[in-house]
Amino acid sequence: QKEVEQNSGPLSVPEGAIASLNCTYSDRGSQSFFWYRQYSGKSPELIMSIYSNGDKEDGRFTAQLNKASQYVSLLIRDSQPSDSATYLCAVNQLKAAGNKLTFGGGTRVLVKP
């Protein structure tokens, strides 16, 4: 079992719709969770951080965390073609020295006009 799992996609979403991305993790000791956006040929860009159970909203993005289910998700509202990218889920595992991040394989999102 991978430590951080994501559906690779592609997730095809019509423009203006909601894109829903899911991520599960195996280490119950994980404390911080991140969503990065990566455009093709570019480096990852941090878009959301979440620490506590529940929802956290920032603009069109909402991150949801459920530690009991070991599940973190990202919702993108009013999806735009510019949201087309690969979204990486990352987990900060306390047990790992140096606060290393473990990344999922990424979900590719395609927003169609």
Give contact residues for other proteins (rule: CB under 8 A).
32, 34, 36, 42-46, 49-51, 88, 90, 92, 97-101, 103-106
* Least spacing, CB of residue 54 vs other proteins, in Å: 15
Give the nearer residue to other proteins in terms of CB position, either 57 or 78. Answer: 57
Least Cα distance to 49 among 33, 64, 66, 36 occurs for: 33
Q: Which residues pair with 63 in a beta bridge?
A: 56, 74
* Least spacing, CB of residue 44 vs other proteins, in Å: 5
Both structure tokens of 106: 């990424």
* Least spacing, CB of residue 50 vs other proteins, in Å: 8
Give the nearer residue to other proteins in terms of CB position, either 26 or 32. Answer: 32
Can you tell me the distance from the alpha carbon of 69 to that of 17, in angstroms, rounded to the nearest whole number?
26
User: Are 6 and 89 spatial neighbours (Cβ–Cβ below 8 Å)?
Assistant: yes
* Least spacing, CB of residue 9 vs other proteins, in Å: 12
Can you tell me the distance from the alpha carbon of 71 to that of 54, in angstroms, rounded to the nearest whole number?
11
Give the nearer residue to other proteins in terms of CB position, either 21 or 44. Answer: 44
